[in-house]
Chains A and B, each alone.
Chain A
Amino acid sequence: MAVHIASDALSISAPTTRLNTGKSSFEVEDLTVAYNSRPALWDVDLRVPEGVLMAIVGPNGAGKSTLIKAALGLIPRAAGEARFFGKSYEQARQLVGYVPQRGSVDWDFPTTVLDVVMMGRYGRLGWLRRPTKRDRDAALAALEQVGLSAFAKRQISQLSGGQQQRTFLARALVQEAQLYFMDEPFAAVDAVTERAIVTLLQTLRANNKTVIVVHHDLQTVPEYFDWVTLLNVEIIATGPVSETFTDENLHRTYGGRVGALTAAPEAAGA
């Protein structure tokens, strides 16, 4: 812990650092997760400053989703801890929004789009309380924001994949969180949805929210994000896209399997 306080002080005193590096929104220390005694994440340390859009990239099985789920307490941690704005998840619950992979639920479930979005309010409502008109209005506003107003009363089984994704995003929006985790929101969506998500990310950043996105498409990382974490069981590199998203780091992450972004791949891609 002492080391981190020191590095905090360091980054504040350094005049060249970015605007946002003062406070961290999300911090992971010594995080290790194992499936059947094989490590899925190994000794991960991560600090994400406030107000950035961060992509987590890495090959399949690199532990990208696992990192989010372990941090949120959805899967057990073998070691380590996660802090949100300096607090434990239980204390910071209201500050954190989550968008799971859309394949994780049964879309034939008997409910409407508006109903699903309202579920984002359940955490603030607490037990035994019914959603009020204010919650409903918030849900409708969120649907408007993702371009699904016309679908509010629709049964969720009638949605396309992209619309399902936007429904989940709207549900996260009504959480009115400061920090969002999104698990592959861009996976297999149509162009309309991709654009809607990008616009949404920018709006969130403009409101100084922090967004952490598990992402697959390396091409769009520099365009959509300003911060990136390269992960392959261990953290390979993390930081601003301009400094971190380099050929060398990508080779180290993907083990030379990626024909990098530039035309001339390095020979030393070990």
Chain B
Amino acid sequence: MGAHRFSDEITTSLQRVAFEKSVSWVVAGAILLIVAVPLFSIEWTHTLRTVVLGGAVLGVVCGALGSFAVLRQQSLLGDALAHTALPGIAIAFLVSGRSLPALLLGAGVAGWIGVLLIRALTTTTRLKQDSAMAIVLSSFFALGLALLAYIQGRGDASQAGLKSFIFGQAAAIVERDVVVLALVGGAVLLVMIAFWKEFKLITFDPEFAHTVVLRARAIDLVLSLLIVIAIVLGLQLAGVVLMVGMLIAPAVAARQFTSRMEPMVLLAAALGGLAGGGGAFVSGLDAGLPTGPLIVVAAVSLAFVALAVAPGRGVIWTWLAERRDRRNFAAQNVLSDLYRHCLSHDDPMQITDESMLVNLRGDAARIALRQLQREGLVHGDGRLWRLTNAGVDAARRLEM
């Protein structure tokens, strides 16, 4: 590394990025391992296994479809949808009792009506989308709460599980439910894979998609429907209040680590499964713990960690990169200062006092001199400095 660094700055910075990326993958893997190890030391009862499996399945489906919601910039629409599902659940219960498929159907229909209502409000009135969402969300949710109170008042023994839809309750999941969830969730994922390229195009560039894709409107509808199904499936686990966190957080975290859509959806599914399974596990240990908050805390912590440390996009990474740029810039300036000092004395070996550079550039000059010394561009004793031959060459190239 005798030669100076600025000319091959690009190569080295690319190498550095690659290095930092691999480091953060190792860190992420280590964290996963630390989290995973205690799981194997627990005694797995049948109930616990059912609950965790259900949570993981839901997490995977929500993570994958949540990626589309995030990329379509419809995160809050997901929130509105989850809330508007509540009266549907209550009505389905009144009609057909506590059967999961009926409850989910009711939730889906109510959520869908809610979304259509939001769309109708924004197109026919002067309401903006956020206001329309707030109105529909709160009124549907209030209706749902009222219906639940009514159901509770009837003193029906089977209504116990119904309240779990508000904050989510993994313990309410029985083995038969897991089969239903796995079948529906599997079907959702299969459709997603089958129409992958259409979904991707319609998410990235809806206008262009409508000009090239056959029946683009239908495809668009199917994608929305899949997102609705994912939300509805997750309701029992995460609850209508916090469902949006389960949908969005894994996708946000995954987006930080990759800049391609395929790995993003895969990673979001994995993180969703982890958060769903983990949240269900903790809540399964004690029936009193609501699952929704646990899952959402798990998923959102993952997202926060990702926002902070992800290579390339994370806050810390950005800060480090900026600091590096600042230091490189300071080093270049100090190198030029030394060179000009030489020029003014017409002597390439002219010695410069560090205090002079500090007066000129501030304390950054000290750090810059040490960096230049490491790169072999300057020579000095910590107080007096002169350029090396390589340093003269580098400075000359800078001046050009």
Check if A and B associate.
Answer: yes
Report chain B residues within 8 Å CB of A171: 208
The residue on A at minimum CB distance from B265 is A110
Of A73, A105, A111, which is within 8 A of B210 by CB? A73
Contact between chains at A110 and B260 (CB < 8 Å): yes
Q: How far is the CB of B14 from chain A (nearest CB, A)?
A: 12
Q: Counting CB contacts under 8 A, is B25 at the interface?
A: no
Q: Which B-chain residue is minimally distant from A158 (CB atoms)? A: B259
Question: A125 — which chain B residues lie within 8 A by C-beta?
Answer: 197
Q: In angstroms, how far is the closest chain A Cβ from the Cβ of B393?
A: 29
Q: How far is the CA of A175 from the CA of B260 in the complex (A)?
A: 23
Stretch of A43-51, A92-100, A231-239 that contacts chain B? A92-100
| Per-residue interface assignment for chain B, residues 213 to 236, with 1 indicating a CB less than 8 Å from any chain A CB and 0 otherwise | 110000000000000000000000
Stretch at the interface among B5-13, B169-177, B199-207: B199-207
Once bound together, how far apart are the Cα atoms of A213 and B255, in whole Å? 36
Picked from A98, A109, A112, A116, the residue with its CB within 8 Å of the CB of B211 is: A98
Q: How far is the CB of B105 from chain A (nearest CB, A)?
A: 27
- Given that A72-B211, A98-B211, A109-B71 are contacting pairs, would A119 and B260 also be in contact in the complex, using a CB cutoff of 8 Å? no
Tell me the complex Cα distance, A96–B212, Å.
Answer: 9
Residue of A nearest to B312 (CB): A155
A113 shortest CB reach to chain B, Å: 12
- B-binding segment of A23-31, A55-63, A126-134, A246-254: A126-134
For A157, the chain B residues whose CB sits under 8 A away are 259
- Residue of B197, B200, B260 with most partner-chain A CB within 10 A: B197
Chain A residues close to B by CB (< 8 Å): 69, 72-74, 93, 96, 98, 100, 104-106, 109-112, 115-116, 119-120, 122-123, 125-128, 130-131, 155, 157, 171, 175
- Please determine whether B260 and A111 come into contact, CB atoms closer than 8 angstroms: yes
Count contacts between A and B, CB distance < 8 Å.
Answer: 76
The complex places the Cα of A110 from the Cα of B211 at a distance, in Å, of 22
Interface of chain B, helix or strand or loop or mixed? helix
Given the complex, which residues of A lie within 8 Å of B71, measured CB to CB? 106, 109-110
CB-CB under 8 A from A100, the residues of chain B are 205, 207-208
Neighbouring B residues of A72 by C-beta, 8 Å: 210-211
Q: In B256-271, which residues have CB < 8 Å from any A CB? A: 258-261, 264
B73 in contact with A106 (CB, 8 Å)? yes
Q: How many residues of B contact A (CB 8 A)?
A: 24
- B44 at the A/B interface (Cβ < 8 Å)? no
Are B214 and A126 interface neighbours, CB within 8 A? yes
> Per a CB cutoff under 8 Å, which of B207, B213, B260 touches A122?
B213
Contact, CB under 8 Å: B197 / A98: no
Evaluate contact between B198 and A122: CB separation under 8 angstroms: yes
* Contact residues in B for A104 (Cβ distance below 8 Å): 205, 207
Is A112 touching B260 in the complex (CB atoms < 8 A)? Answer: yes
A202 to chain B, nearest CB (A): 24
* A-B contacts, 14 listed (Cβ < 8 Å): A72-B210, A74-B207, A74-B210, A93-B211, A98-B212, A106-B204, A110-B260, A111-B260, A115-B260, A116-B204, A122-B198, A122-B213, A127-B214, A155-B259
Known: A110-B264, A155-B259. A131 touches B197 (CB 8 A): yes
Q: Please, which residues of chain B bring their CB within 8 A of the CB of A93?
A: 211-212, 214
B194 within 8 A of A: yes
Best-buried of A119, A128, A157 by chain B (most CB within 10 Å)? A119
* A73 CB → nearest B CB, Å: 7
Which B27-73 residues have a C-beta within 8 angstroms of A?
Answer: 71, 73
A88 to chain B, nearest CB (A): 14
Q: How far is the CB of B265 from chain A (nearest CB, A)?
A: 9
Contact digits for B112-149, partner A, Cβ 8 Å, 1 yes 0 no = 00000000000000000000000000000000000000
Q: Quick one: which of B195, B204, B210 contacts A119, CB cutoff 8 A?
A: B204
